[in-house]
Amino acid sequence: MASGAFPSSSLPRLDCAAEAERICRWMVEALASRLHRRGFVVALSGGVDSSVCAALAVRAVGAGKVYGLLLPERDSSTFSTERALRLVRQLGIAHEVFDIGPALEALGCYERRDAAIRRLLPSYGAGWRNKIVIAGGLEGGINYFKLVVESPDRVRHEVRLPAREYLEIVAATNFKQRVRKTMDYFHADRLHRAVIGTPNRLEFELGFFVKLGDGAADLKPIAHLYKTQVYAMARWLGLPEDICTAEPTTDTYTLPQGQDEFYFALPYRRMDLALWSIDHGASGARLASVLEVAESQARRIHLDVEAKRRASRYLHATAETIEPIGCADA
């Protein structure tokens, strides 16, 4: 993987051919030697991360051993499903489209989320749209979240989320990632295959995933790649243009929402630079120079990254046991 001097405005160039070769070799080795499964299952969101993972899986083991899942629900963008369908056709992999909306309805995902929203904004109802936006941290404050809703006649309302409502809305929407993972493992069990997790480095290292939801997988082929490197890999793999240029979104809330609005607080190109610099031991002054911000702002970004890394430990952790037990630590 590329490394070296601190970048000025972008990361060091990734040798995509060599990196794809390295990842594919590792995927086959993991599958056959450690996971002992016959192929891969990958859920496709229509975004660049899952698309690159699927394409790498096909390079690694062939299209016949890769099964794609498209798992829309009522808040998903139809563009996401269309992009994912174009990808499976290009890759030539077997796939299934399964609407998880009824399962989410039955679990009370939408009802519980909407009830929490209505406690803050009683007029919220059918036809309204919503999203959660992060605030505070990069202005020198403490991170907090705002609920943004839009009425059917396009009037926006914004309110700071108290702890109880914030936690309930996030818990309800986390049903989406956990139900998707249930479907991933249904097909993985049925086909005796391994589940591919699709986080990029920003998501993996800074904890932008749902524990036992999209965070659950048997292998994560691009967890070491920064987001801009994933885009470079997508182009090198020849993926459809609209996937190579797709902006990262959560595709979880009903209003359009960038990942930077919800979690990262910086657009991914700048977040990549920040994380790469911090991962490579950059000082505050160096980080400020790389990001072209004041040192005080660079310090706040650094603190935000450290806080997110700490928070991600819980998400990555397996269950605590009082002492090491048998094969779990083998």
Partner 1 sequence: MEELRSQLRQYIEDTFLMGVRAEPLADDASFLEHHVLDSTGFLELIAYLEETCAIKVADDEMVPENLDSIDSLVAFIGRKRAA
Please identify which residue in 284, 307, 309, 315 interacts with partner 1, judged by CB under 8 A: 307
The minimum distance between CB 60 and partner 1, in angstroms, equals 38
The minimum distance between CB 286 and partner 1, in angstroms, equals 22
* Segment interacting with partner 1, rule: CB under 8 A, options 13-21, 77-85, 121-129, 303-311: 303-311
Distance of alpha carbon 152 from alpha carbon 286, whole angstroms: 47
For residue 119, state whether it binds partner 1 (rule: CB under 8 A).
no
Helix, coil or strand: residue 254 = coil
The answer to whether 134 touches 263, Cβ cutoff 8 Å, is yes
Distance of alpha carbon 262 from alpha carbon 308, whole angstroms: 13
For residue 135, which of 265, 2, 303 has the smallest C-alpha distance? 265
- Phi and psi, residue 93, nearest 5°: -100, 150
For residue 135, state whether it binds partner 1 (rule: CB under 8 A).
yes
Q: Could you please report the per-residue DSSP string of 270-330?
A: HHHHHHHHHHTT--HHHHHHHHTS-HHHHHHHHHHHHHHHHHHHHHHPPPP-SS--GGGG-
* Segment interacting with partner 1, rule: CB under 8 A, options 7-15, 45-53, 141-149, 246-254: 141-149
| 144 vs 236, beta carbon nearer partner 1 | 144
Sheet with 129-135: list strands edge to edge.
129-135, 144-150, 156-160
Q: Which two tokens stand for residue 205?
A: 């290292």
The minimum distance between CB 267 and partner 1, in angstroms, equals 20
| 65 vs 308, beta carbon nearer partner 1 | 308
Site for partner 1 in 35-74 (CB under 8 A): none
- Cα separation values, 303 from 99, 138, 200, 227, 296, Å: 40, 9, 21, 21, 11
The minimum distance between CB 119 and partner 1, in angstroms, equals 13
Round to the nearest angstrom and report the end-to-end CA distance of the chain.
29
Site for partner 1 in 176-235 (CB under 8 A): none
Name the residue with tokens 């299952």.
41
The minimum distance between CB 161 and partner 1, in angstroms, equals 8
The minimum distance between CB 152 and partner 1, in angstroms, equals 27
| 1 vs 311, beta carbon nearer partner 1 | 311
For residue 136, state whether it binds partner 1 (rule: CB under 8 A).
yes
For residue 116, which of 192, 169, 195 has the smallest C-alpha distance? 169
Site for partner 1 in 147-166 (CB under 8 A): 160-164, 166
Please identify which residue in 2, 17, 94, 167 interacts with partner 1, judged by CB under 8 A: 167
The minimum distance between CB 287 and partner 1, in angstroms, equals 19
| 2 vs 311, beta carbon nearer partner 1 | 311
| 26 vs 144, beta carbon nearer partner 1 | 144
* Segment interacting with partner 1, rule: CB under 8 A, options 104-112, 135-143, 190-198, 224-232: 135-143
CA angle 138/143/149 to nearest 5° reads 105
Residue 310 contacts by C-beta under 8 Å, 6 or more apart in sequence?
none
| 145 vs 209, beta carbon nearer partner 1 | 145
The minimum distance between CB 175 and partner 1, in angstroms, equals 19
Residues making contact with partner 1 (CB under 8 A): 135-137, 140-145, 160-164, 166-167, 303, 307, 310-311
